[in-house]
């Protein structure tokens, strides 16, 4: 029996059709960020892994609808998707293979429902994205879109009781991760017509949008990339307490995700102005070392927690 089928069994997912739905979502989740998917597969307890897959796939499917396809048709496509999700939440059922496993996971992890509703209330912030004038706009975007999207998955790792410290730590982490994505994905975003660096940052560095679009190697573009990567690095360092807030079974994954972002920052720093042509990728040997280290720690922890 495959490890995936064992995870479905451990999660109590027995219905053949529902197992097929979860398997489809696993494929979607794996395509988005392979390293994060592998970390979740290796480090999470088996009963939790399929539910994290369902929430992750829902997040990415929704994000794809907001970000891709003809720009003048995205609002209508997303409105129809939102309607189907809300109908599913109201009825407890759906004929959509992304929504069905999400609804089942909500029956097992009821805390997810509120986060899905929070996400639906604010997700149009990404659809309506028109750039940032300054830092205040960036922070508003984190609150309106990035954090609610991240909490779809993070809530499955949350401690019981008052979650204020957990949510605050999640916000610090996703701010760091989002800043990293914004600078690392500059070439892709600019090709799609999105400028995700605040205008005041461009002005401070003496850089124009055309400089970025033409991938000009200038003192200002180098300064801009160094500055944003430095902000991401500082915020990521501040997010480290998150790994101590989540319950023990989720800590290896959180440590791995932070370490992957650190590796990506290092790779992006080496690439420098080359980010204006293509994204940087974390070191494959470095990522493998992170996975091996956290897998060893996860196995040791599970042996300790066994009755």
Integer angstrom CA distances of residue 161 from 111, 116, 246: 12, 19, 12
DSSP 214: T
What is the residue whose two structure tokens read 């970025």? 212
Domain locations along the chain: 1-128, 129-307
129-307 shares the fold of 1-128: yes
The reported pLDDT for the residue numbered 131 is 87
Q: What is the pLDDT along the chain (307 residues), one digit of tens a residue?
A: 688 999 999 999 999 999 999 999 998 888 877 889 999 999 999 999 999 999 999 999 999 898 877 777 888 999 999 999 999 999 999 999 999 999 999 999 999 999 999 999 998 888 878 789 999 999 999 999 999 999 999 999 999 877 789 999 999 999 999 999 999 999 999 998 889 999 999 999 999 999 999 999 999 999 999 999 999 999 999 999 999 999 999 999 999 999 999 999 999 999 999 999 999 999 999 999 999 999 999 888 877 766 5
CB atoms within 10 A of CB 110: 9
- Residue 206's contacts (CB-CB under 8 Å, 6 or more residues apart) are 219, 220
pLDDT at 305: 62
Instruction: Show the DSSP H helices in the chain as ranges.
Output: 3-10, 16-32, 34-43, 49-67, 74-91, 99-108, 111-122, 124-127, 135-141, 147-154, 164-184, 186-191, 199-205, 209-213, 219-238, 242-245, 251-271, 284-305
- pLDDT for the residue 32: 79
Distance (Å, whole) CA 189 – CA 130: 12
pTM: 0.92
- What CA–CA distances, in Å, run from 138 to 118, 125, 179? 19, 12, 9
Token digits for 23?
Answer: 């398997």
Sign, CA dihedral 111-117-118-124, equals: positive
The per-residue pLDDT for 160 is: 87
> What's the CA gap between 149 and 147, in Å, rounded?
5
Backbone φ and ψ for 208, nearest 5 degrees, come out as -105, 165
Between CA 105 and CA 53 the distance in angstroms is 10
CATH of 1-128, one of 3.40.50.720, 3.40.30.10, 1.10.600.10, 2.40.160.20: 1.10.600.10
In this structure, the number of other CB atoms found within 10 A of the CB of residue 109 comes to 18
Q: What is the DSSP letter of 132?
A: -
Please identify, in words, the CATH class of the domain defined by 129-307.
mainly alpha
Distance of alpha carbon 54 from alpha carbon 21, whole angstroms: 9
């Amino acid at each position: 029996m495959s490890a995936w089928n064992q995870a479905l069994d451990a999660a109590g997912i027995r219905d053949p059709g529902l197992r097929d739905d979860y398997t489809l979502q696993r494929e979607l989740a794996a395509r988005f960020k392979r390293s994060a998917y592998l970390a979740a597969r290796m480090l999470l307890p088996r009963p939790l892994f399929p539910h994290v897959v369902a929430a992750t796939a829902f997040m990415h499917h929704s994000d794809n609808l907001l970000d891709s396809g003809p720009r003048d048709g995205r609002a209508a496509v997303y409105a129809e998707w939102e309607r189907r999700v809300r109908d599913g939440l109201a009825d407890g059922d759906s004929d959509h293979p992304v929504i069905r496993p999400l609804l089942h996971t909500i029956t097992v992890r009821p805390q997810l429902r509120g986060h899905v509703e929070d996400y639906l209330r604010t997700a149009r912030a990404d659809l309506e994205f028109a750039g940032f004038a300054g830092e205040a706009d960036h922070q508003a975007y984190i609150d309106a879109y990035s954090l609610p999207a991240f909490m779809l998955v993070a809530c499955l790792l949350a401690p019981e009781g008052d979650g204020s410290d957990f949510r605050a730590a999640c916000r610090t982490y996703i701010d760091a991760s989002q800043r990293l994505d914004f600078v690392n994905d500059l070439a892709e975003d600019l090709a799609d017509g999105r400028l995700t660096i605040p205008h005041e940052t461009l002005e401070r560095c003496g850089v124009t949008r055309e400089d970025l679009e033409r991938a000009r190697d200038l003192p200002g573009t180098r300064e801009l990339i160094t500055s944003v990567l430095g902000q991401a690095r500082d915020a990521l360092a501040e997010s480290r307490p998150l790994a101590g807030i989540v319950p023990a079974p989720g800590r290896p994954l959180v440590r791995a995700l932070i370490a992957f972002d650190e590796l990506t920052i290092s790779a992006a720093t080496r690439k420098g102005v080359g980010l204006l042509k293509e994204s940087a990728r974390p070191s494959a040997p470095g990522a493998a070392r992170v996975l091996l280290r956290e897998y060893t720690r996860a196995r040791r922890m599970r042996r300790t927690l066994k009755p």
